[in-house]
Structure 1
Amino acid sequence: MQVSALLDAAIRTLRLTILFPMLYAPLAAAQSAQALLAGDAPRVEVAGERLWTTPILRALFADPARAPHWRDEQLAVMRELIARAYDEGLDPRDYLDGRMADAAALPPGERDVLATEALARLAFTLRFGKCNPEALDPDWNYTRSFGTTDPVDWMREAIASNDLAARVEALRPDTPHYRVVQAALKRYREFVVHGGWPGVDKGATLRPGMDDDRAPQLRRRLAVTGEWERSDETLDERRYDEALVKAVKIFQAHHGLDTDGAVGRATTAALNQTAEVRVTQLRVNLERLRWLSAELGAGTLVVNVAAFHGNYIEGGEVRWSGRVVVGRPDRKTPIFKARLSSIELNPTWTVPPTILKEDILPKLRAGSHVLEEKQLRLLDSAGRPVDAASIDWKGLRPGHFGYVLRGEPGPKNPLGQVAFLFPNPHDVYLHDTPQREVFVREDRALSSGCIRVEHPLLLAARLLDDPEHWDEKALKDAVATGKTRHVALPRAVTVMLVYLTAFADDDETIQFRRDVYGFDEPVRAALDAPLRLSLPKDVATAAPAGA
């Protein structure tokens, strides 16, 4: 009996000896982690690594009983997620891949803090992008917010769950645009691995039917990216034949070039753009899509400034699609969002400050009859007409104009028949134009910043969504009266001016565009720089309350 009792006591002691460290280890690790994060200093380093999500970490580890504890299987999942960041156009080094590869060698507290930091970095990057767009563009006003989701709760639940990978991957933009660009990144990286593609010599414009040494170069170049496929027919290698012309036109359509089949300077430049450059372009635009993911939704009028094109999307369907003219490089169309709630038929036009200063006043000082030519009225601050001949234009000092120049409705009004007005500090809006011929051009960076619309009455009808009262015929009849009229939309529409030089078209085909404003390089530089994560303001300030 005594032997049995002693044996039972020994077994209980052995169990406690085994179980106690197992039960105590997570708590000890949490207390160690809490000590690493102690204080309120904004800059914290753990094992030599700068922490960028300190407010989140302090909230998570504030209560040792609820603090994250990383098991081996979770660390393995985390390592895989970090490796997959490469497929998003990101650098795994930004997510502590080296530390996570050797996480088992870290003290438990450091391991848990750094693994949680790696997850937070990756989660925020997939949700908002690595770079802070506000630091790259002072006009940026898109939302960076988790909304109703508490990031601390999300982190705690994700770490404790059995589906960590699925939860993280769900943070990516869930749109065909993102998936198409991501797939293209993988494909173009494969082109790089295999040496890219052969170039095409420069020269006089190559036109269909000509014999030229560049014809075989074109076949080799377009065979790599798939526009041209070899057939069983006998080829005249130097002949720029019909099949090759068709392939060139496909390439031109995918790069925003004139689809005339003529291989001139612009087409040759696009053909000779390297695979490495295209990879960078795709990475840059995946980042931009991450910036925009929180904004895309129903009832959105999206203008891609880089593509000179706009779409109105309602209920997941494209209700209007058309060409647009945007600001020329020295008068860039700003990238921002706004709310559109009304349209104006037969609009008046008040000359904006930039055009007044840089275009109109210099001509008036030179004695030009620009007011008569453009049918502009000179008004005082009370709206009363002023005789332009009474003004000493040469003696007028910049910044002391004191008058208003207004174009009345009519065939020469720069806004045309319809204006789509949305309040913004840039005096930028969408509108019609009397210069209809500009829409046949492929490069349409021509305006002073506003956006000219190809089919404005059709867009107006789609936005009004009232075929009984406001179809295209009714709009034309209202325009024919010559009277200015404001028409309210049934519901406000979000206007998104974006800048994407690589994107998916309506057929989910990858499209590339020239970086007309030179905006790609700053994003590329920020993507390739060491991570400096900027948490959204609501997260950075509210996170400690989640403890």
Structure 2
Amino acid sequence: MIAFDLRHAIRGGVISGLLGLVSGPLMAQDSDASLRLSIAREVGQSRALSSFYKDRDFDPIWIGGDADDTRRREALLNVLAQAADHALPQERYKQDLIASQLRTARTPSQLAKLEAQMSASFLAYARDVQSGVLVPTRVHPGIKREAPRRNPIKTLSAFEQSSPRAFLDQLPPQTAEYARLMHAKFEMEETVARGGWGPSVEAEKMEAGSAGAEVRALKTKLVALGYMRRVANDRFDGATRDAVVAFQADHGLAQDGVVGPGTLAELNRTAEERLQQIIVAMERERWLNRPLGQRHIRVNLTDFTAKIIDNGKVTFETRSVIGKSRLDHQSPEFSDVMEFMVVNPTWNVPRSITTKEYLPQLQRNPNAVPHLQLIDNSGQPVSRQAVNFRAYNARNFPFRLKEPPSQGNALGLVKFMFPNKYNIYLHDTPSKSLFARETRAYSHGCIRLGDPFDFAYALLAPQTDDPQALFKKRLNTRRENTIMLDTPVPVHLIYRTAFTQPEGRTQFRRDVYERDARVFRALEIAGVTTLSADG
């Protein structure tokens, strides 16, 4: 018998009918030449399966009568029954077909079809649970991340030589975040099954001193969400304000205790919407299923934060400003490695900004944007008075613009470089007031940091006893110079509208670029469903 969780088996929908089949022999002679020939025919259309089976002389791994084959069948059927727990497309793995074949397969041809199907289902499941259902770069142009796909031949070979159950258990991300997201998914499914958190709260604005039916509805919602205990009054009192502030903190909102349009919109999100966010977060965690670095930098675009993570713990955090919501200004998602920082940087204006934003200004007034220098192709300064800007357009403009180091430089006084083809980096900014805003999407794509000097000190701390002195010595030269990092640090620009904490509630953020909506639609098309076990 297979040892499995009954709840998962019900969700899988096939295990109960297969228990009597998986433990017995499916073939009388596993060395039968006709069976091997049939297997060779069945796997011929798959390069991975053909290569795997050819190397083992088309000897099966699933349908034999020995104990190893039995354990493999049991382990595979068990995880396929639990695929929906991982928010995977259950039907993709052909459980019904495998069930039918297990009941009826007896001839070499039938057994070969079953063998090939089980291997194909195994590889599909292994790929999806390990590195994601989707190809990230096909979902949205701002997602530049490459999923860590494993070699299918090596995956099958490793599985065949391993303990089946232990191997399959190690396929999903082994991170605490993934485990907590999975737990959050189960809890949200139960909330959905109970009917959610009740009706929407209809109001314009509520704050301390408000009273009436609107406040009563607000309290009912906060009780359903777990932020306060039920009380029999309709006053916006201190307890209500505390509950609102706690809710705002968990949803990335300004913690002012005032229920305005933004807070109301998040209060009225349904459990189904939150479940979708969790499902997308699980898929995104699978896209990152590789070593991130004992020390790494994590920029969560939706949370407007940049963090330094050391051995799984946040050791530094600062607010950030990300790209505007316009598609051509959105900050992309990708990973790279930070190698150095530039103190007193020169801003070499990207050509897209030069031609789209500054050239029209220069055409109207050659003396516009005087803080920028006009540079020719040889790198020499050019007098604006010698240029007829109206003679050029975005395609043929032959000059560049740059801003020398200064307090007012668009990059501020330091930038942090992880050279990449998207020309994205982290940097200081003279526009400090933006960090006080709730939603901080104002840049052309690069990431601005609220505390860039402290960020620099934290990065330099492993390589000097006095990182502040090292940094300020370079800063005080007022000249552009570079500080190399002795140990380069991985950087991960991620996009998570749902994420967890070691303790406390699941955090939710707005889908500022509407990427998660696109990811969830793609998951639905692939066959992922939010239906509960009873649904």
Instruction: Give the TM interval when normalised to the shorter protein.
Output: 0.7 to 0.9
Any idea what SS the aligned residue of 2:438 has? coil
C-alpha contact 1:351 1:405 (8 A) present in aligned 2: yes
- How far does the alpha carbon of each residue in 1:422-481 deviate from its partner, in whole angstroms, 9 at most, with x for none? 211222111001111111112011111110011111221222234645522442343233
**Quick check: 2:342–2:417 contact (8 Å CA) kept in 1?**
yes
Residue 260 of structure 2 is aligned to residue 264 of structure 1: yes
Q: Which moved more, 1:123-132 or 1:140-149?
A: 140-149
Residue number in structure 1 paired with 2:52: 60
C-alpha contact (below 8 Å) 1:345/1:479 kept by paired residues: yes
Correspondence 1:175 to 2:175: yes
Q: Write the distance in 2 (CA, Å) between the matches of 1:225 and 1:156.
A: 47
CA displacement at 1:103 relative to structure 2: 4.0
Indicate if the aligned counterparts of 2:298 and 2:307 stay in contact, CA closer than 8 A: yes
| Alignment correspondent of 2:120 | 117
Match of 2:340 among 324, 342, 350: 342
Cα distance in structure 2, aligned partners of 1:459 and 1:407: 23
Q: Deviations over 1:310-358 (max 9, x none)?
A: 1122333323211111001111011122221110111110111222122
Q: Which amino acid aligns with 1:264?
A: G
Larger deviation, residues 350-359 vs 132-141:
132-141
Answering whether residue 126 of structure 2 is matched by residue 128 of structure 1, we say no
Pairing 1:82-101 to 2, within 5 Å after superposition: 82-101=80-99
Kindly indicate whether the alpha-carbon contact (under 8 Å) linking 1:344 and 1:485 is maintained by their aligned counterparts in 2. Answer: yes
Q: Deviations over 1:185-234 (max 9, x none)?
A: 11111111011112343332211221132222122212222112236xxx
* Partner SS state of residue 371, structure 1: coil
Question: Distance in 1 between the 2:288 and 2:214 partners?
Answer: 41
* Cα distance in structure 1, aligned partners of 2:203 and 2:495: 32
Which residue is 2:513 aligned to?
Answer: 517
Q: In 2, distance between residues paired with 1:174 and 1:117? A: 24
Tell me what 2:285 maps to.
289
SS at match of 2:423: coil
CA distance in 2, matches of 1:259, 1:303: 22
Asked if 1:421 is matched to 2:417, the reply is yes
Helix, strand or coil for the counterpart of 1:293? coil
* Whole-Å separation in 1 of the counterparts to 2:100 and 2:399: 70
Contact 2:339–2:489 (8 Å) recurs in 1: yes
Moved more, 376-385 or 440-449: 376-385
Q: Deviations over 1:265-308 (max 9, x none)?
A: 11111111111111111111111110111142323211111221
Secondary structure of 1:481's counterpart equals coil
Q: 2:409 corresponds to which letter in structure 1?
A: N
- 2:520 and 2:112 mapped to 1: Cα distance? 35
Cα distance in structure 2, aligned partners of 1:370 and 1:469: 45
> Does 2:484 match 1:488?
yes
Q: Give the match's secondary structure for 1:140.
A: coil
Aligned position for 2:66:
none
Q: Distance in 1 between matches of 2:95 and 2:351?
A: 52
Find the partner of 2:161 among 157, 160, 175: 157
Query: What CA RMSD, in Å, does the superposition of the two structures yield over aligned residues?
Result: 2.6
1:47-446 superposed matches below 5 A: 54-62=46-54, 63-64=56-57, 66-70=59-63, 71=69, 74-107=72-105, 108-137=111-140, 140-142=144-146, 144-146=148-150, 150-158=154-162, 161=163, 164-230=164-230, 235=232, 237-330=233-326, 331-367=329-365, 369-372=367-370, 375-446=371-442
Structure-2 separation of matches of 1:376 and 1:488 = 27
d(CA) in 1 for partners of 2:174 and 2:57? 35
> Residues of 1 paired with 2:350 and 2:250: CA distance?
36
Q: Match of 2:159, as an amino acid?
A: M
Cα 1:29–1:196, aligned 2, differ >3 Å: closer, same or farther? farther
Q: Distance in 2 between matches of 1:394 and 1:469?
A: 55
CA distance in 2, matches of 1:147, 1:318: 33
Larger gyration radius, structure 1 or structure 2: 1
Q: Which stretch of the first structure deviates more once superposed, 455-464 or 222-231?
A: 222-231
Write the distance in 1 (CA, Å) between the matches of 2:414 and 2:354: 22
The equivalent of 2:4 in structure 1 is none
Percent identity between matched residues is 29
Name the amino acid aligned to 1:196. Answer: G
- Decide whether aligned partners of structure 1 residues 513 and 21 sit closer, same or farther in structure 2, where only a CA change above 3 A counts: closer
Letter in 1 for 2:53: F
- Secondary structure of the residue aligned to 1:24 is coil
Give the 3-state SS of the residue equivalent to 2:180 in structure 1. helix
Alpha-carbon contact 1:211-1:239 (below 8 Å) kept: yes
| More RCO (CA 8 Å, sep 6+) | 1
Aligned residue pairs, count: 491
Q: Distance in 2 between matches of 1:199 and 1:26?
A: 64
Q: Give the Å deviation of 1:369.
A: 4.6
Q: Could you tell me how far 1:55 is from its partner in structure 2?
A: 2.9
Cα distance, 1:279–1:90 mapped onto 2, change above 3 Å: same
Contact 2:355-2:393 at 8 Å conserved across structures = no
Instruction: Give the Cα–Cα distance (whole angstroms) in 1 for the partners of residues 247 and 154 of structure 2.
Output: 46
Look up the equivalent residue of 1:24 and give its one-letter code.
Q
Is 1:75–1:100's contact at 8 Å kept on the other side of the alignment?
no
TM-score scaled to structure 2, two decimals?
Answer: 0.85
**Contact 1:202/1:265, CA 8 A, preserved across alignment:** no
The secondary structure found in structure 2 opposite 1:419 is: strand
In the alignment, the residues of structure 1 paired with residue 209 and residue 367 of structure 2 have an alpha-carbon distance, to the nearest angstrom, of 50
Q: How far apart are the structure 2 equivalents of 1:149 and 1:246? A: 56
Structure 1, gaps ≥5 residues long:
1-19, 42-53, 533-547
Structure 2 residues not aligned, in runs of 5+: 1-24, 64-68, 106-110, 529-535
**What SS does the corresponding residue of 1:306 show, helix, strand or coil?**
helix
Q: In 1, Cα distance between the equivalents of 2:293 and 2:176? A: 13
Change (3 A) 1:105 1:469: same
Change (3 A) 1:414 1:469: farther
Aligned-residue offset at 1:385: 1.9
Q: How many angstroms does 1:65 deviate by?
A: 6.2
